[in-house]
Structure formats: C-alpha cells, structure tokens
Amino acid sequence: MNRQQSDGPAVFSSWRIFSHPQDRHCVAFHVACLAAYCCAFWMYQHPKLVGVTGPWSRIAFVAASATMLGWISGINVGVNFHNHSHRPIFTSQFANRWFGRIWAFSAGWPSFFWEYCHVTIHHARLLAVDDWTLPRQNADGSFEDFRRYLFMHWPWRLMKHLWLDLTARRNLRRRSLRELVIFLALWSIPFWIDWKMAVWLWALPHWIANVWVMGSGMYAQHAGCVSKSDARPLSHSNVFVSKFFNLTMFNIGFHLEHHEHPRVHWSLLPELHERLKQELIDGGAHVVPYGNHRAAWLLAGNDARKKQFAEQAVGYTSNR
C-alpha cells in the first residue's frame, strides 16, 4: 500500500514525533478522555454548581458521568491503546512506554498486561482453546452466553490467567511486578483526592469500560467464528462496515482485515478492506452493515435477534 497516497500531502513525511501522522488523533482522543475525567472530578467536588442538591440528584450526576466515562474509556483502551500495542505511535521508545502507562491505566489496566493479553494471547492463538481472552466455547463450537462472558471474564478469569502466565517465568515475573507497581501508583491518584469520588467516577467507569464496552466488543468481533483453517481462512472474525462507527472507532470494524494484517496502520484499514473486498466475499467472510454496539445488542437477545446478527450485509453475498 502506498503510504503517501493515503496519508495526505508530502508535508507530513518529515514528521518526527509520531510514527504515523494520523496517530495525533490517538493522542487527542486520550487527552479528551482525561479531560472528561478531570471535569467530572471537579464537578463532583462542587455539587451545587451542577445542581446536585440531594442524594437523588447526586445519583443522576454519577450515573450519567460514570456511564459516559466508562464508554469512552472502553474505546480509549480497547480500540485506541490497542492500536498503540500493535504499532507504537511515537518514534521514541521512552515516550511509547510512558505514554502507554498513562494511557491504559485510565481503564484500569497496566499497559504491559493489556498488551500481553491482546498480542501474545489473543492474536497469536486466535480462537484456539488456549485463547483465554475470548468467551469459552460450547461443545458445538459456539460461544458461551453473552452475559456469562461479560460478568465472568473481567476481572475474575483474567486475573487467574494472568497470574498463571506472568508468574511462570522469572523475566516475565519481574517485569510484571514493576509494571503493576507503576500502575497502582497511577491508578490510586483519584483515591488520594477523595475515595468516594474515586469509587463512583473512577473504579465504576472502569468496570463499565471492561465489562460492557470491551467485553461486548470482544464477543461481537468473533461470535459465530471458527479458527483459521485452509477450508475456512476468512471465518475467524466478523467485519462491521458502518461508516460512522468506523469513523468514531479508529476503523476497528474492519476486524478481519486487522487480524489478517495486524501491522497495517489503523487509518489504512478502509483502503485495505476495499482491496480485499472480493476476496472476503469469495471467502465467505461475515460482514454486517452496523458496528459492535448493535451487534452486542443483537447477540444479547433472543434467537430472533441472534438470527439478525447472522445475516449478511447487502453487497457482500457471493454469487457462486
């Protein structure tokens, strides 16, 4: 793929801070997320200013803020930091390491742990029995119940698997411990300011981010899929082609393309999708016209809703 064609004018070719000029949008997203947290914290400390006059209005403020913060944190780490874990966004290794740490902590993760789960486990073992990042599989190969995966996976199953994996080898153990200490130092900051505020506007959003946003995303991206084989090389991931979804979600909808070519920059995935379109159609890839959110809604429902998810997007049906 010609990078110059898709990245804009040649003026960016001398860019030195970012590995790719489009990566500035990743930083903007993360800074906006941190600003949203700061805004919510400040307003929690000034209740009269926001019309909080009693317990019910406080519940309304916390419910609105925690939901929005959880939603954006789920995207910020599950999609935005995810891109960084495949292709670090800065040219400096030091900046990559430290920005990663102050990135993943905003959804309750040490950056190294998240990278380990995603790259070392999920990408390397996609849909195999030892890919413990995905829902467990029933005897017929289908995923376990949507709700069961959401509520059992984070943090319970993850903690168990991470403990077993990261304590198994000495070098991993040492690095994990260092990263965990750095994470705890950063993650505890809101608790030092006001522990009640931290529970409602820091820990609760992180639970929403991991369980509802990242959990449902992982489920939808691979629901109904089978591990890669010669017979079914393009049935390991689903493709979500909603333009608005992909615009606002760093093109994560092109998930099959991402798993096939994880080193391709996120901004180039729509172009890659167009190039591979016929191959996807011929290979029987499952393509839907919406994004992860609606897919999760359908997969959490009854058989009729699940059947809707199984339908193929118009224009992606093979004539063979």
Partner 1 sequence: MSRLPGTFLSRAGLAFGRSFWPLLAIVVIAGAILWGPWVSLAITVLAVTAALRLL
Residues 78/209, Cβ–Cβ less than 8 Å: yes
Closest distance of CB 254 from partner 1, Å: 15
HSE-up (13 A, CA, CB side) for residue 234: 18
Structure tokens at 58: 């406080």
Distance in Å, CB of 63 to partner 1, minimum = 6
Site for partner 1 in 8-67 (CB under 8 A): 8, 25, 28-29, 32-33, 35-36, 39-40, 43, 49-52, 57-58, 60-61, 63-65, 67
Nearest to 91 by CA among 12, 17, 26: 17
Considering the complex, state which of residue 52 and residue 285 has its C-beta at the smaller distance from partner 1.
52
Question: Which lies closer to partner 1 via its Cβ, residue 61 or residue 132?
Answer: 61
Q: Which of 223, 237, 67, 205 is nearest to 146 (CA)?
A: 223
Scan residues 149-168 and list those touching partner 1 (CB under 8 A).
Answer: none
193 touching partner 1, by CB under 8 A: no
Q: Is 239 in the site for partner 1 (CB under 8 A)?
A: no
Q: Rounded to the nearest whole angstrom, what is the least distance from the CB of residue 239 to partner 1 in the complex?
A: 15
**Nearest distance in Å: CB 34, partner 1:** 9
Contact call for residues 241 and 289 (beta carbons, < 8 A): yes
Query: Residue written as tokens 């992606």?
Result: 316
Query: Minimum distance between the CB of residue 247 and partner 1, rounded to whole angstroms?
Result: 4
Between 50 and 186, whose beta carbon lies closer to partner 1? 50
- Could you tell me where the DSSP H helices lie in the chain? 3-7, 24-45, 55-75, 82-86, 93-104, 111-115, 146-152, 158-166, 170-187, 189-193, 195-198, 204-207, 215-222, 243-248, 255-260, 269-282, 292-299, 303-310
Q: How does DSSP assign 2-58, residue by residue?
A: -HHHHH--GGGGG--SBSSGGGHHHHHHHHHHHHHHHHHHHHHH-GGGGT--SHHHH
**Position of tokens 């493709």?**
239
Among 96, 248, 308, 312, binds partner 1 (CB under 8 A): 248
Which residue, chain included where needed, has tokens 């400390």? 45
Nearer to partner 1, 36 or 134 (CB): 36
Minimum distance, C-beta of residue 250 to partner 1, in the bound complex (Å): 7
Per the CB < 8 A criterion, the answer to whether 292 and 253 are in contact is yes
Per-residue contact flags (x/-) with partner 1 for residues 256 to 295, judged by CB under 8 A: ----------------------------------xxxxx-
Question: Could you say which residues in the range 58-77 bind partner 1, by CB under 8 A?
Answer: 58, 60-61, 63-65, 67-69, 71-72, 75-76
CA dist 250 → 75, 84, 243, 254, 255 (Å): 9, 12, 11, 10, 11
Contact string 110-139 vs partner 1 (x = CB under 8 A): ------------------------------
Q: Which is nearer to partner 1, 131 or 194 (CB)?
A: 194
**CA gap 1, 19 in Å, rounded:** 16
For partner 1, the closer of residues 48 and 263 by Cβ is: 48
The footprint of partner 1 (CB under 8 A) covers: 8, 25, 28-29, 32-33, 35-36, 39-40, 43, 49-52, 57-58, 60-61, 63-65, 67-69, 71-72, 75-76, 242, 244-245, 247-248, 250, 290-294, 296-297
